Amino acid sequence: QVQLVESGGGLVQAGGSLRLSCAASGRTFSTYNMGWFRQAPGKERELVAVFLWRSSTTYYAPSVKGRFTISGDSANNTVYLQMNSLKPDDTAVYYCAAQTVGRRISDIYVAGTYDCWGQGTQVTVSS
């Protein structure tokens, strides 16, 4: 299995930017699809973005498309989430997750199909 550690969260004003990092140890990222999810208080965990290593394909939730960018650095076994034009609605705990490749493509949207999770990092956007 892979172990995931997120970093880069913090407090930022609306319109600002943050970059989250997810560093992995153990098995290499190339055997996983990598996702960023978030969970706000009282809400369900939701998908933010997904990066497919084997094809470099990316997927985004409609609420973040055009503002967030997910990318991967295979040399450092790290996945990033660049978040621009942040809004108060983006406030949540952000989690990095790894999904074993080979599933149906529709499974990338389902949190329960991911095998490994990081501990989460808090992002707070003030108005």
Summarize pLDDT for 17-43 with one digit per residue, the tens.
999 999 988 766 677 899 999 999 999
pLDDT at residue 29, rounded to an integer? 65
Mean pLDDT of 56-76: 94
Q: Select the more confidently predicted residue: 53 or 49.
A: 49
Nearest to 90 by CA among 58, 53, 65: 65
- pLDDT above 80 (res 7): yes
**How far is 34 from 22, CA to CA, in rounded Å?**
9
Average pLDDT of the chain, as a whole number:
93
Strand order in the sheet with 18-26: 2-7, 18-26, 78-83, 68-73
Mean pLDDT of 98-125: 93
Mean pLDDT of 90-106: 93
Mean pLDDT of 58-87: 95
Cα dihedral across residues 110, 116, 122, 123: positive or negative: negative
